[in-house]
Amino acid sequence: MAKPDIQQVKQRFGIIGNSHDLNRAIDVALQVAPTDMSVLVTGESGVGKENFPQIIHQFSHRKHGTYIAVNCGSIPEGTIDSELFGHEKGSFTGATGERKGYFEVANGGTLFLDEVGELPLSTQARLLRVLESGEFIKVGSSKVEKTDVRVVAATNLDMITATRNGRFREDLYYRLNTVPIRIPSLRDRKDDIPLLFRKFASDCAEKYSMPPISLTDEARQMLKDYYWPGNIRQLKNITEQISIIEQTREITPDILKLYLPANEVGLIPIGTINNDQKSFNNEREILYQVLFDMKKDMNELKKIVHDIVAGNLSAKDIINPVIVEKDKPLPMVVQPKERSTPLPVKDILPVSDISDNDIIEAPEYEEEALSLQDVEKDMIKKALERHNGKRKNAAQDLKISERTLYRKIKEYNLESL
């Protein structure tokens, strides 16, 4: 069978655009269609991934067989196995009869598993067995059944990250990804945006019997510069909003700004972003970096204090590394604790002018070690003094029983209080 023309495929399935990446994706779909290889279609939400399983099915030898599209993310985890593989009567509460699953119904055809990354791990194991051997077992049954189904899956997840995090089985990923097809995002095919806008505007005008809207050159450029996180789906929604709400049929940048949510996170037009601005993700990463740096600085400060106390570091070792920058205040020599007034300005010396004689030795620090018993005794003593020797009130204050308090008073020789 001769390979169909890409333009004919676009017209048949309503695909608009001339970008190289889009044409490449369609070409790969046509090349793999005559085979029985599993295909994984990836791309952001709203790029039109659902068209490609239909292309693969219609240009395969299974085109007269059943085609079923299943949204794996919309089926509850408790029933997904029953939906895909079927169940026997009485296999679970509510199973009043036998049910055929999609793999049995689509035998000889194509099964499109949309949002395959949302499948629970137990279902992923069942799916892997079907892909490898064509065998499955219904829920509540022990009988092994066979099926001949072509599986095409799609996801908007980063599957490599999902496999690393244990969210998706690695062996199933490579089994599904026999032939990958990557659908480009709308921002990666900017020249197709005006074509799509004109198509959506024309369809809306025909549907509601009104003149179609058009864009000025400036508005067209603004549309191309926008980030489009929702891709084609978002472009279609905005085009329909403008068509219905606006009275004028020529859309200017001022009108277009009203419909592009530029003040929302992740929805900032590309044209308004400069190199000095940071995205939300970058700000979060910067915050993490600041926290890590603060922790590192605190650890270094603790080490310096420890070295000073241990006598391994002198004041000169701390002062010498200081770098005095131009137009910055000169560093000050920290005086011992006994000095309550700051040094006069004339006594503030540049680091380069400090000699060994100018360095003031810090008083030796002696750590007063307190045992747990000392702390406990002190707390009991203070509680008794606060309550004028009333042991019941002191016990309540210390959150202990009176019996325990009596025992502690005797242990620490506090009977006189």
pLDDT of residue 369 exceeding 80, the answer is no
The whole-number pLDDT of residue 91 equals 84
Tens digits of per-residue pLDDT, 18-29? 999 999 999 999
* Domain at 188-272: CATH code: 1.10.8.60
Confidence class of residue 12 from pLDDT cuts 50, 70 and 90? Answer: very high
Tens digits of per-residue pLDDT, 210-228? 999 999 999 999 999 999 9
Pick the more confident residue, 284 or 11. Answer: 11
Task: Give the lowest-confidence range in 141-155, 311-325, 329-343.
Answer: 329-343
Number of residues that make up the chain: 417
pLDDT of residue 331 exceeding 60, the answer is no
pLDDT of residue 301 exceeding 90, the answer is no
What is the C-alpha to C-alpha distance for residues 47 and 30, in angstroms, rounded to an integer? 19
The whole-number pLDDT of residue 377 equals 85
* Chain centroid offset of residue 326 CA: 44
The whole-number pLDDT of residue 74 equals 92
The whole-number pLDDT of residue 75 equals 93
Pairing of strands 179-182, 150-155: unpaired
Tens digits of per-residue pLDDT, 29-51? 999 999 999 999 999 999 999 99
| Nearest one of 120, 124, 185, 118 to 154, comparing CA atoms | 118
The whole-number pLDDT of residue 376 equals 81
The whole-number pLDDT of residue 120 equals 95
Tens digits of per-residue pLDDT, 374-396? 878 888 888 888 888 888 888 88
Q: Phi then psi for 410, rounded to 5 degrees?
A: -70, -40
How much is the average pLDDT of 158-168? 94
What is the second-level CATH architecture of the domain 6-184? 3-Layer(aba) Sandwich (3.40)
Beta bridge partner(s), residue 41: 154, 181
The whole-number pLDDT of residue 105 equals 96
How much is the average pLDDT of 101-105? 96
Tens digits of per-residue pLDDT, 60-88? 999 999 999 999 999 998 899 999 999 99
Tens digits of per-residue pLDDT, 240-262? 999 999 999 999 999 999 999 76
The whole-number pLDDT of residue 392 equals 85
The whole-number pLDDT of residue 387 equals 85
The whole-number pLDDT of residue 58 equals 96
* Domain at 372-411: CATH code: 1.10.10
The whole-number pLDDT of residue 375 equals 79
The whole-number pLDDT of residue 322 equals 43
pLDDT of residue 151 exceeding 90, the answer is yes
Mean of pLDDT over the chain:
82
The whole-number pLDDT of residue 371 equals 65
How much is the average pLDDT of 184-192? 96
What is the C-alpha to C-alpha distance for residues 350 and 166, in angstroms, rounded to an integer? 58
pLDDT of residue 129 exceeding 60, the answer is yes
pLDDT of residue 237 exceeding 70, the answer is yes
pLDDT of residue 366 exceeding 80, the answer is no
